[in-house]
Amino acid sequence: MPRPNRIVVLTGAGISAESGVATFRGEDGLWEGHRIEEVATPAAWWRDPDTVWRFYSLRRKALLDVEPNAAHHALVRLEREGPEMLLITQNVDDLHQRAGSSSLLPMHGQLRMLRCERSGRHQERMGEADLDPSTFVDCTCCSTPSRMRPDIVWFGEVPMGMDRIHAAIDALRMGDLCLVVGTSGHVHPAAGIAAAARNVGARTVLVNLEAPVNLHDFDEVHLGPAGGTLPGLVEAWLEEWNDA
């Protein structure tokens, strides 16, 4: 593959699952024992904030027990040694940040962050008291502290950074690279990124445990665990680009 001028990477739940992070989609449409409409919509927060808060508090606390894997570190190497790169992730964990990725856009929010319901400001809140599933967290940005919600894009809400994502795709040209890692191809608008990149002439490459529903959007497919597949791909690409 010739050296691209730009790279856009999209990662999904599959890359973090290899680190032990639970995924959204489970048997019979359940997500860790909850239906999506019970914990991952604005209506759920309005209707039963205690259940939603407990659910996300436990997920936030679980971040303390997982570590980045070889696939996360391979993307850091690609960013540092390769061309200009934007890493878009559907994941809400902090494994990309902890691995060292800097050009990162978490389009579905971040578990480490909370958002003030009144001002909309974001704060990183990971202290022991902030992780208590039985007590809501108040902001520090308002004169009268206001309750904070998880800084997560719930179903029915607009993903973060869409202008930046569109600009990154529009900037791709013939011979540039769009790499997709660990996604099912079910969730839009992220599922349309590969097709959009291909439409502007970029080469689309998939690394995934199994074939996604949008398999036809990819020029090159590598099926297998990301941690076992991606480091070798990145090594081969960098060697080829440096020798060119």
Residue that has been written with the tokens 């208590």 in this structure: 132
What does the pLDDT look like over 28-57, one tens digit per residue? 445 667 777 789 999 999 999 999 999 999
Task: Report the interhelical angle of 70-81 vs 226-243 (nearest 10°).
Answer: 20
Pick the CATH number of 22-65+113-152 from 3.30.1600.10, 3.20.20.60, 3.90.1170.40, 3.40.640.10: 3.30.1600.10
CATH fold group of domain 6-21+68-108+158-243: Rossmann fold (3.40.50)
Q: Which of 73, 96, 108, 216 is catalytic?
A: 108
Count CB atoms within 10 A of the CB of residue 178: 28
Pair 4, 85: CB distance under 8 Å: no
CATH 3.40.50.1220 domain locations along the chain: 6-21+68-108+158-243
Is 108 among the catalytic positions?
A: yes
What does the pLDDT look like over 98-127, one tens digit per residue? 999 999 999 999 999 999 999 999 999 999
Please report the pLDDT score of residue 28 as a whole number.
Answer: 47
Query: pTM of the predicted model, to two decimals?
Result: 0.94
Rounded Cα–Cα distance for residues 191 and 175 (Å): 21
Helix, strand or coil, per DSSP, at residue 97: helix
Average of pLDDT values for 55-77? 96
pLDDT exceeds 70 at position 24: no
Rounded Cα–Cα distance for residues 80 and 120 (Å): 33
Tell me the sheet residues that pair with 203.
Answer: 177
The two three-digit tokens of residue 152, written as one number: 């997560």
